[in-house]
Amino acid sequence: MRYAAVPVGDLRWRAPAAPPTSTTWQQAKEFGPICLGISVAYNSSSQDEDCLFVNVWAPKNADATSKLPVWLFIQGGGYVSNSNANWDGVEVIQKSGNNIVFVNFNYRVAVWGFLASSKVQANGTLNAGLLDQRYLMQWVKTHIAKFGGDPDNVIIHGASAGAGSVALHLTAYGGRNDSLFTAGIAESVFFPAQPFVPQLEYQFDRLVNGTNCTSASDQLACLRSLDTGALQAQNVPSPFPGRTAAPLPSFYWTPCVDGDLVQDLPYSLFAQGRFVKGVPLLFGNDNDEGSYFAANASTSGDMANFLRNNYPLLTANDTDAVAGMYPLEAAAAKHAPWFPSASTAYGEATFICPAMSILNAYNKTDADDEGARLWSYRYNVLDDENVAEGLGVPHLWESYAVFGPASLGGEVVPESYLTYNAPVVPVVMDYFLSFVRTKDPNTLRAPGAPVWGSWGGSGGTNGSRIVLETNDTRMEEVGDAQAARCEFWAGLAPRTQQKKRGESLDLWG
């Protein structure tokens, strides 16, 4: 279903608008195109600018009186693609006993969703992709009762950039509570460099130069007048200013601090307590978050170059300190010697430490009993093929178990989830479904599954999390070494563009 107007022409780089009203029957038998991502040729019917579609799965007999919890999934893709589009909600609804409604949707990404410039700010909207998400939440609030959902019981769940988006919605408008959601799930919170607008003018200038709009009296109007193919040809990554051409940054287009929806850098907002309070959270990560993204580094210098190409304000002294904090690790199959260290460093800086820091911010809040409403996990389900490729337990590997192996939009189901890792699937699904239905992963957990203790419930200094592992799910304390590394990254956060320089970040210790 279309949830917003087609964002083309003068609607490019503007907040989403209502679609045209229609009083005729609309066929909803197939998925609409997903939003155009980075480095994709504009010749596919599966990706288009006309992409603002929503999918709703509901039990057959649900109606406006059902008031079922709504599981609203925000897909990932590093803000440069829609990489988890159209996942099938049938399996989670069936597993819930027909007691939930499931929603997923597309939002603008890459140049279409995150072009930043003072010119866009003056005559358009920054962070259009995030505003698409916010608009969709309001669409759910308005319409989901027609499908049997409860508009006052919406659980937002994001994966990767979708998880980063959950964090940004918790802090949206400085933590203003618009009553659009009641709980949050985040698989692998994604905190890339998140610059201020003046730091991103070079991206606008590169786009203008590449499309021959340089001499136009109104460069933004010129860009809006171009056909989709001409703009998509320029929707490619480039080195960040002052950095080398190889490796290119993993995520070229990202949200920026716009002073409105995103009022400050993410760590700063959480440290300042500017987030929606009283929201139960379930956050977690995979054991080897960085393995899909890290450069195949042969030397510590290669690792430093990779990190500086993704976090361009890091200095040589910073990356020397990183090498000291992440010395040479045990070898990984099919990879150069410094790949494991680069993978661990990037995974913790970009995914693992942000998730734990957010939980700590909530745990330190003055709200009553906040620590008992926070849960964390470390996913450690090994797959023989991943191990053979030197990837460990990679980014978002848990998604097959969260939604059910057959639900991931036509992706090939890893054989291990159908054989030796099959026992972990009902355990994980029931924890997540229990959280969606009751705001607590324990209420409806699988028979025999251990109690999932809260993040701050054990009295430990670093936080507690469950280890989701085939036939060995258990609780653990975050180790002192990992906590120290997260505190180290907090110290570098002004140069990873995650907090302001000179600002205290008391989220660890």
Q: What is the identity of the amino acid at 253?
A: W
Q: For residue 155, give every residue at least 6 positions away whose Cβ sits within 8 Å of its Cβ, in sequence order, or none.
A: 69, 70, 71, 72, 181, 182, 183, 184, 185, 435, 436, 439
Catalytic residue among 81, 83, 160, 434: 160
291 within 8 A of 390, measured Cβ to Cβ: yes
Instruction: Give CA–CA dist 89/93, Å, rounded.
Output: 6
Instruction: Give CA–CA dist 113/245, Å, rounded.
Output: 24
287 within 8 A of 226, measured Cβ to Cβ: no
Q: For residue 138, give every residue at least 6 positions away whose Cβ sits within 8 Å of its Cβ, in sequence order, or none.
A: 180
Q: Helices (DSSP H) in 233-370: which residue ranges?
A: 266-271, 300-310, 316-325, 339-347, 353-363
Q: What is the SS3 assignment for 205?
A: helix
Return the H-helix or E-strand segment holding 201: helix 201-210
Q: What is the identity of the amino acid at 68?
A: L
**Torsion angle of the four alpha carbons 494, 378, 76, 203, in this order, in degrees rounded to the nearest 10:** 20
Instruction: Give CA–CA dist 401/473, Å, rounded.
Output: 14
39 classed as catalytic = no
Bridge partners of residue 152, in order along the sequence: none
- Quick one: 447 exposed, middle or buried, by C-beta within 10 A (0-12, 13-18, 19+)? exposed
308 within 8 A of 249, measured Cβ to Cβ: no
Residue 19, preceding bond cis, omega within 30 degrees? no
Using alpha carbons only, give the angle 82, 84, 89 rounded to the nearest 5 degrees: 130
379 within 8 A of 398, measured Cβ to Cβ: yes
Which residues are annotated as catalytic?
A: 160
